[in-house]
């Protein structure tokens, strides 16, 4: 018996469209998501293709999303093109920096406002953030509600830094979330070698997972530990 298989990168919008199309047509399939960039490259070399996803129906390679849509005789939808960009993150930090300068808020103000803006972007589409975040975060992989908790924890940490209130609690939450985040990103990027997008500015961004995620979590961890060091007991 031949199988229907889709080989794709999880963060690719074309792959998501292909999966959605198969679901709508009630076609059973095996969803094979590449676990690393090396695996994706090896697959492309094996089948002499330059792009993914690649859909196989009854053992026959159909092609990508548009090829699948043509095969099933349906009109194609055009997902947003996937191109990595650091512009969203650069904008966040630039706005936070300028604001902190005008308010004479210093480095604490810059870090607090950065976390608040990043949390706001996540909360604009919490479901999209959750889907992206659970691909690499160690806690939310096993306890999905943590992905919904994370933006609120980040917002609380930012407000705690700016206001100076609830120092002990804000510091504890910030340090814990930041340290776990650093470990999660390190494992995904350098150990598992996954090619994923960062959920730092929301689940719909094309910011590569890596240095930016480290920066966000490092800010939370450092400021959390600092708040704990100055908190009155």
Query: Residue 64: helix, strand or coil by DSSP?
Result: coil
CA–CA gap between residue 123 and residue 8 (Å, rounded): 27
pTM of this structure? 0.63
- For residue 93, whether the previous peptide bond is cis, meaning omega lies within 30 degrees of 0, is no
CATH 3.40.30.10 range(s) for the chain read 5-71
Look up residue 136 and give its two tokens.
Answer: 């690499």
- Please compute the mean of the pLDDT values over residues 40-69 and round it to a whole number: 89
Mean pLDDT of 48-54: 88
**Mean pLDDT of all residues in the chain?**
84
Name the band, by pLDDT with cuts 50, 70 and 90, for residue 1: very low
- Number of Cβ within a 10 Å radius of residue 138: 15
The fold of 5-71 is Glutaredoxin (3.40.30)
**pLDDT surpassing 80 at residue 194:** no
Predicted local confidence at residue 3, as pLDDT: 80
């Amino acid at each position: 018996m031949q199988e229907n298989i889709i080989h794709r990168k999880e963060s690719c919008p074309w792959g998501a469209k292909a999966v959605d199309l198969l679901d709508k047509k009630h076609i059973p399939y095996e969803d094979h998501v590449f676990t690393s960039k090396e695996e994706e490259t090896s697959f492309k070399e094996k089948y002499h293709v330059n792009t993914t996803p690649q859909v196989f129906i009854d053992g026959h390679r159909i092609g990508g999303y548009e090829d699948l849509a043509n095969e099933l005789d349906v009109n194609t939808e055009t997902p947003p093109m996937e191109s990595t960009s650091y512009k969203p993150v650069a904008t966040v930090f630039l706005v936070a920096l300028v604001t902190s300068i005008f308010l004479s808020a210093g480095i604490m103000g810059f870090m607090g406002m950065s976390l608040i803006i990043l949390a706001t972007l996540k909360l604009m589409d919490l479901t999209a953030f959750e889907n992206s975040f659970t691909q690499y975060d160690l806690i939310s992989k096993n306890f999905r509600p943590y992905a919904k908790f994370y933006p609120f924890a980040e917002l609380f940490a930012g407000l705690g830094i700016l206001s100076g209130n609830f120092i002990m609690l804000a510091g504890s939450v910030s340090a814990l979330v930041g340290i776990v985040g650093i470990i999660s990103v390190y494992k995904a990027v350098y150990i598992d070698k996954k090619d994923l997008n960062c959920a730092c500015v929301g689940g719909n961004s094309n910011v590569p997972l890596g240095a930016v995620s480290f920066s966000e979590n490092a800010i939370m961890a450092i400021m959390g530990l600092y708040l704990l060091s100055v908190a009155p007991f």
